[in-house]
Amino acid sequence: MIDGNDKSSIIRMFHVHKQYGVKKALIDINLDVFKNEFLFITGPSGAGKSTLLKLLYYGEPVSEGQILIDGMNVFRISCSRIPFLRRKFGIIFQDYKLIPTKSVFDNVALVLEAIGRKRQLIRKKVNSVLRMVGMEERSKSFPQSLSGGEQQRVAVARAIVGVPKIILADEPTGSLDSESANIIVDLLKGFHARGGTVIVATHDKELLRTTDNRIIHLKEGQQIK
Partner 1 sequence: MILFYKKAIQDILDNRFLNVITIITISLSILIVSALSLFFVNANDIMSSWKKGISIIAYLKPDIVETALPEIKGKIQGMYGVAEVEFISKEEAMKRLKEQMKGHSSLLADLQENPLPDAFKISLLTSSAGSKRVENLAAQIEAMPSIEEAEYGRRWLERFTNVFDLFRFTGYAMVGIFFIAVVFIVANTIRLVIYSRQNEIEIMRLVGATDRFIKTPFYIEGLIQGAIGGIIGLAALFVIFILITLNVGQVSSSDIFHIRFLSPGVLCGIMLCSIFVGWLGCYISLKQFLKYETG
* Shortest spacing between CB 111 and partner 1, in angstroms: 5
For partner 1, the binding residues in 118-137 under the rule CB under 8 A are 119
Pairing state of beta strands 89-92 and 166-170? Answer: parallel
By the rule CB under 8 A, 79 interacts with partner 1: yes
DSSP H/E element including 73 = strand 72-73
By the rule CB under 8 A, 162 interacts with partner 1: yes
Closest-CA residue to 105 (of 140, 72, 79): 140
DSSP H/E element including 131 = helix 119-132
**Which string of x and - marks every residue 38-67 that binds partner 1 (by CB under 8 A)?**
-------------------xxxxxxx----
Total of residues contacting partner 1 (CB under 8 A): 29
Query: Where does this chain touch partner 1 (CB under 8 A) — which range of 29-37, 96-104, 132-140, 206-214?
Result: 96-104
Largest distance between two CA atoms of the chain: 51
For partner 1, the binding residues in 132-161 under the rule CB under 8 A are 158
Q: In what order do the strands lie in the sheet with 89-92?
A: 89-92, 166-170, 197-201, 38-42, 215-219, 222-224
Candidate list 101, 128, 147, 213; residue touching partner 1; CB under 8 A: 101
Q: In the chain, what is the straight-line distance between the N-terminal and C-terminal CA atoms, in Å?
A: 10
By the rule CB under 8 A, 86 interacts with partner 1: yes
Closest-CA residue to 177 (of 216, 138, 151): 151
> What is the binding site for partner 1 (CB under 8 A)?
57-63, 75, 79-80, 82-84, 86-87, 91, 97-99, 101-102, 110-111, 113-115, 119, 158, 162
